[in-house]
């Protein structure tokens, strides 16, 4: 163990003292595209995770703090829909309602990589792939006669892989918790709508709408880090 520590320290000292061209370096930033599907969960769909999926596309920026932590920003546009005819529960007077919306999301998440993520610095036991967890905060805007705007909390997991130096691919699944129950209400006047259909008052932890995102990403790295031993 002591030999490994001494070796790592010596390599880092050489990396700092010798010209940077002699060492492959790590990039601090990533920019890329994402695409996949979105799915609504709420009063019109309580249990089926991928019911009525819609297309989703957007862009992401990621700042790699170190081998284990990253900060990500995203701008996403997609489509959500639902229909009580697909629900397995019975609504008052057997009423039926449906909705469809185009939505835009602006958000930021913190990512934790399970493995030290890099295709360089093998002496630090880095790997060019890793599963990761994400948690963040965002805002969702959705179209309709009754427009929707609300905060969301993203929570999910993913997997990313460096297919070559400077290029990453990834896949992730996340749930977006909203703090409102009217994502599925698009019209200002309806005989029956999905904003508390049972007249049960919503709370932070109860009777709120959600949506999920299943996304594939492709990113390009740029901006060399100053210290080639930053990941220690």
pLDDT tens for residues 201-215? 555 555 588 999 999
pLDDT tens for residues 46-74? 788 898 999 999 999 999 999 999 999 99
Identify any residues that bridge with 213 across adjacent strands, giving them in sequence order.
38, 174
pLDDT tens for residues 135-154? 999 999 999 888 899 999 99
Instruction: Give me the pLDDT at residue 120, please.
Output: 87
Instruction: Give me the pLDDT at residue 183, please.
Output: 87
Distance CA 89, CA 94 (A): 10
Instruction: Give me the pLDDT at residue 35, please.
Output: 98
Instruction: Give me the pLDDT at residue 23, please.
Output: 41
Instruction: Give me the pLDDT at residue 225, please.
Output: 77
Instruction: Give me the pLDDT at residue 126, please.
Output: 92
Q: Tell me if the pTM is above 0.75.
A: yes
Dihedral of alpha carbons 213, 156, 85, 101, sign: negative
Instruction: Give me the pLDDT at residue 18, please.
Output: 45
Distance CA 4, CA 47 (A): 51
197 assigned to some structural domain: no
6 assigned to some structural domain: no
17 assigned to some structural domain: no
52 assigned to some structural domain: yes
Structural domain range at position 85: 24-188+203-224
- Assign residue 117 a region: left if phi > 0, alpha if psi is -120 to 50, beta otherwise? beta
Tokens of 209: 């709408």
Which CATH number is 142's domain given? 2.40.160.20
Q: Spell out, as residue ranges, where the chain has pLDDT lower than 50.
A: 14, 18-24, 230-232
54 assigned to some structural domain: yes
Neighbours of 60 (CB within 10 A): 21
70 assigned to some structural domain: yes
Beta strands, E only, the chain: 27-41, 54-64, 69-83, 98-113, 129-142, 148-164, 167-178, 210-224
Q: How many domains does the chain have?
A: 1
90: DSSP letter: P
Distance of CA 118 to the CA centre of its chain: 20
Instruction: Give me the pLDDT at residue 9, please.
Output: 58
Integer-rounded Cα radius of gyration of the chain: 22
Instruction: Give me the pLDDT at residue 40, please.
Output: 92
Distance of CA 89 to the CA centre of its chain: 30
Report whether 91 contacts 84 (CB < 8 A). Answer: yes
42 assigned to some structural domain: yes
């Amino acid at each position: 163990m002591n030999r490994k520590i001494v070796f790592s320290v010596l390599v880092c000292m050489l990396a700092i003292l010798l010209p940077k061209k002699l060492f492959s370096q790590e990039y601090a930033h990533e920019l890329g595209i994402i695409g996949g599907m979105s799915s609504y969960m709420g009063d019109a769909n309580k249990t089926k995770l991928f019911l009525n999926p819609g297309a989703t596309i957007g862009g992401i920026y990621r700042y790699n703090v170190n081998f284990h932590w990253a900060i990500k920003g995203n701008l996403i546009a997609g489509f959500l829909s639902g229909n009580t005819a697909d629900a397995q529960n019975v609504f008052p007077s057997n009423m039926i309602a449906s909705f469809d919306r185009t939505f835009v999301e602006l958000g930021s998440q913190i990512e934790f990589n399970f493995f030290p993520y890099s295709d360089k610095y093998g002496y630090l036991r880095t790997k060019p792939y890793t599963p990761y967890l994400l948690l963040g905060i965002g805002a969702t805007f959705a179209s309709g006669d009754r427009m929707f705007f609300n905060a969301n909390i993203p929570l999910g997991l993913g997997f990313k892989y460096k297919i070559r130096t400077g290029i990453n691919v990834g896949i992730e699944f996340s749930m977006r918790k909203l703090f409102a129950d009217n994502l599925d209400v698009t019209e200002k006047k309806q005989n029956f709508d999905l904003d508390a259909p049972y007249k049960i008052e919503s709370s932070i932890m109860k009777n709120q709408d959600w949506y999920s995102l299943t996304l594939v990403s492709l990113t390009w790295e740029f901006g060399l880090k100053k210290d080639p031993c930053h990941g220690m």
